[in-house]
Amino acid sequence: MWPSRNKNMDRMEFLLTLRRRGITDNAVLRAMDEVPREKFVSEETREQAYQDHALPIACGQTISQPYVVGYMTELLELASHHRVLEIGTGSGYQAAVLSRIAAHVVSIERYRTLAEKARRTFDQIGYTNIDVLIGDGLEGAPNLPPFDRIIVTAAAETIPDALVNQLADDGIMVLPLGPKNGPQHIVRLRRTKDGIEREDLIPVRFVPLVEGRAKEL
């Protein structure tokens, strides 16, 4: 373990970096200040937990860069009564941030190993408003809709219709769109009375959204 003085400085610097890069929503900044990111990264990368980059986790996946977590969370315009669906639990960090602002989060992961680890982390830190499901997130959670907000944290090549169909009226969905290893960008969809509005936003780099449940892990 590193000395606690450095740890506090890391966390102060973490928030300053988020602000400097343009995250202004206080609820998002407060949530990211509250969630202990070091509990979501692997033992080997713990000292880098508060640096602004993505880190490897089990099953060849990654925990997203904090700035991108803040940016996507801000785009969701979350309110405290919202029910949120996340596709791609991974470490559970993004779900944890969502859960500090919204009423309830359902998060779907295709790897059992990651889903179970995330559940243990939530238990350990006492976050009780997150349900982790093991399955194919491309199908969403067909028994649980509609969701006020949907966030996808793996890159889709095309917008998954099943997810758009699970979005409530006035709902917002945020996802990275683009090919595996190719140019991807963040897209925000909003369900209005006149149909679905679309905004194409910043370039990003995410692991791919893969169809089906993972076979072994």
The DSSP H or E segment spanning 185 is: strand 184-192
Q: Site residues for ligand SAH, window 2-31 (CB under 6 A)?
A: none
Q: Does 73 bind ligand SAH (CB under 6 A)?
A: no
Binding string to ligand SAH for residues 44 to 63, with x set by CB under 6 A, is what?
-----------------xxx
* Distant-in-sequence contacts of 110-113, Cβ < 8 A, 24+ apart: 110/134, 110/135, 110/136, 110/137, 110/210, 110/212, 110/213, 110/214, 111/58, 111/59, 111/61, 111/214, 111/217, 112/214, 112/217, 113/58, 113/59, 113/217
What's the closest the beta carbon of residue 169 comes to ligand SAH, in angstroms?
Answer: 25
Selected from 28, 138, 174, 187, the binder of ligand SAH by CB under 6 A is 138
CA–CA gap between residue 116 and residue 61 (Å, rounded): 15
What's the closest the beta carbon of residue 193 comes to ligand SAH, in angstroms?
Answer: 30
> Is 64 among the catalytic positions?
yes
- Going by C-alpha positions, the residue among 71, 63, 58, 80 that lies closest to residue 129 is 80
Structure tokens at 65: 């860069």
> Which residue, judged by CB position, is nearest to ligand SAH in the bound state?
90
What's the closest the beta carbon of residue 153 comes to ligand SAH, in angstroms?
Answer: 4
Binding string to ligand SAH for residues 93 to 132, with x set by CB under 6 A, is what?
xx-------------xxxx--x------------------
- Residues forming the site for ligand SAH (CB under 6 A): 61-64, 87-88, 90-91, 93-94, 108-111, 114, 136-138, 153-154, 207, 209-211
